[in-house]
Chain A
C-alpha cells in the first residue's frame, strides 16, 4: 500500500523546467531518499509533497487523498528544514509544542507530550532552554521532535544532516534510522550525499535534471546502475571501452580495453537496444591485485598512485591499452603488503560484477 503516489508531476519556474514528469510510489513505513546533485529538483519535489510549491501539472496523492488545492498546513506531512527553522523567540518546549496549539490540550497533557517528544530525540530536560543557546545537533533534534510530535503520515527531511560535522552526521544517521523504525512513519529524505542515502534508505530515487534516473534499493543501485551517470554518482566506478565479439546462449564475450576478452552473463547486459560498442563499469572492489596463485585471467599493470586508509588501500593502476588508470580497492591484510608507487603487478577481475552500459 503506497502512502504517497506522484503521477506525472511537472513543475515550471517561468521557462525553467524543474520537474519533468515524475512518477513515483512511496510505500507506507518506508525510508525513501531523493538523491541527486544540487539543482536536480529533489528539494523542489519535496516541497511539492509538503505543499509549499504548486505543481504545473500532475497529481500528488497522500494517504489516498488528492492534495490538489490543499495548503501545507492541512497536509498530513511535517518537515525538518535544512536550516531547522527553530523559532528563535520561543523556548525549546514552546518550539516542540508549537503545532499542538490547535489541539487545545490541557496544560499537563501538553507538557507530558512535549517531554515525551524531547525524550524520544534524546533531549530530556532541555524544554526550558532558550532555542538560540542550542548547538547544531540539538537544533536538529528539536526540529525532529517538533515534527514528530504531530504524528504525521509522512516526515519530510530536507538535507537535515548537511550542516553537521562528520562525527555528528554519522551519529544522527544511525539515530534517524532508529527513530524511523521506532515510530514507523514514512520518512522521505532529500540528500546530495550518496553515502548517506545508501546507509539510511530502503529505496533511493536518483534524480538528474528534474527526472528520476533510477529508483531502486541501495544494493541494486550500487551493483546495477542503469546508466553510466548513476554509476558515476554512486560510489566510485571505473569505465572501460568495450566491443562485443561473440554472443552465445549462456554468455556474451566482450573485448574490454585493458582487460582483454571477458565473458559475461546475458542478464548483465543493459535492457533494450544493444549496440556493438559499449562501455563496461567496474567498481574498485571488482578489480583486485594478485598476491598469490595464478588466476585464470590476469593482466599486467603499474601502480601510479595510492591512498592508504588504514583498513583499505586504494590503488591507481595503469593497465595496458587504456588512457587513464583504474581505481582498485584492496583490504589490508598482513599477508598483503601495501605496494609502492611504481610497482609492477598483476590485476584480475570478477566478471560477474561487470556492468555493461549502452554507450
Chain B
C-alpha cells in the first residue's frame, strides 16, 4: 500500500517534471541537436562541384588530417585559446579575490555591477575599439611616442595572434571573474583563521586553503573561456591579420567562399572533438577539487 502510493506519487512528480522541461527540451532538440546532427551528417558527404554527393565517405577526415594547412590552423587555434584562457584566468583571479576579500560587503554588488560594464556595448564594437587602441597610429602607440618611451610605432600588438589574445581576454574577463568570485565568497573565513592559527602565514594559507577551495570556480572559468574561444571567428578576422586566423575562420571560408559545406562540417566536428577531449582531460585532472 505504502509502496504503491509512493510509486504513483513519483509518477505524477515525474510527469510534472517532464511537463516543466518540455518547452526547453523541444527548443534544444530543434536548435541544438538537429543542427548538430546535420553537421555530423554533412561531414560524411562530399561536395561534387555544385551538388552534394550523399554517399558515405571518410575522405573529408582523411584530407583534414593530411593537409598541413588544417593542422596548422587547428593547433594555432588550440594554442591561442589556451593562452587566452591562462591570461584571462590569471588576470581575473586577483580581481575576484580583491572584490571578495577586500571590498566591504555593502559595496560588493556595486563592484560586480561595474565589472559587467564591458557587456553594455556590442561585442563587435569592442573588437573595433581594440583596433583603435592597438593600431599603427592608435591610442597606445601615439601615447607611448608622446611619452618618449618608443621612437616608432610598435607593430607586434595588432594584426597577429597577440591582438587576438588581448581582445579575447578582455571580452571574457567578466565571465571568469564571476565564477571565481562566487567560489571565493563560499569560503568560510574561519578556515583562513584556522590555517593562520595552525602556523601558516598569509602566503602558505593562500596555497593550502584559499586556492584549493577556489578551484571549482577556476575550473568553471577555464572551461567558460576555453570552449567558446576556439570557435571565435570575429576577433581573428578583425584584429588577427594573416597569422592570427583560427580554425573557425577556415570553417567559415569552407562554407561560404569555397562552397564546400562537407569540408567545413568536418573541420567543425574535429574542432568540437578537440575541445571536448581537452576539457575532459582538464576536468579529470582536477576532479579531486570537484567532489
Contact = CB atoms under 8 A, between A and B. Distances in A.
Interface of A: 50-52, 71-74, 77-79, 81-83, 85, 87-89, 98-99, 101-102, 130, 146-147, 150
16 contacts: A72-B193, A73-B196, A81-B194, A82-B190, A83-B188, A85-B193, A87-B191, A87-B194, A89-B289, A98-B208, A99-B199, A99-B200, A102-B200, A130-B291, A146-B198, A150-B199
Contact of A81 (B190, B201, B208): B190
Contacts of B289: 89
Contact of A98 (B195, B201, B212): B195
A104 B33 CA distance: 55
Contacts of B106: none
A314 B190 CA distance: 42
A308 B78 CA distance: 77
A81 B192 CA distance: 11
Contacts of A101: 200, 208
Interface hub of B188, B198, B209, B213 (most chain A Cβ within 10 A): B198
B197 interface: yes
Contacts of A79: 193-194, 197
The 5 closest A-B pairs by CB, nearest first: A99-B198, A85-B194, A85-B190, A72-B196, A89-B212
Contact of A150 (B190, B198, B212, B291): B198
Contact of A87 (B201, B209, B291): B209
Chain B contact residues (Cβ within 8 angstroms of A): what range? 10 to 19
Contacts of A81: 190, 193-194
A73 B289 CA distance: 26
Contacts of A147: 197-198
B212 A73 contact: no
A89 B193 CA distance: 16
A106 B31 CA distance: 59
Interface of B: 188, 190-191, 193-201, 208-209, 212-213, 289, 291
Contact of A72 (B190, B191, B197, B209): B197
Given A81-B190, A87-B191, A98 B198 contact: yes
Interface hub of B193, B196, B197 (most chain A Cβ within 10 A): B197
Contacts of A74: 199
Interface of A is mostly: mixed
B191 A85 contact: yes
B197 to A, nearest CB: 5
B76 to A, nearest CB: 37
A86 B213 CA distance: 12
Contacts of A72: 193, 196-197
B188 to A, nearest CB: 7
A130 B212 CA distance: 15
B97 to A, nearest CB: 18
A172 B291 CA distance: 31
Contacts of B191: 85, 87-88
Given A73-B196, A81-B190, A83-B188, A88 B213 contact: yes
B82 to A, nearest CB: 26
Given A73-B197, A79-B194, A89-B289, 7 more contacts: A71-B196, A78-B198, A85-B194, A99-B200, A102-B199, A147-B198, A150-B199
A242 to B, nearest CB: 48
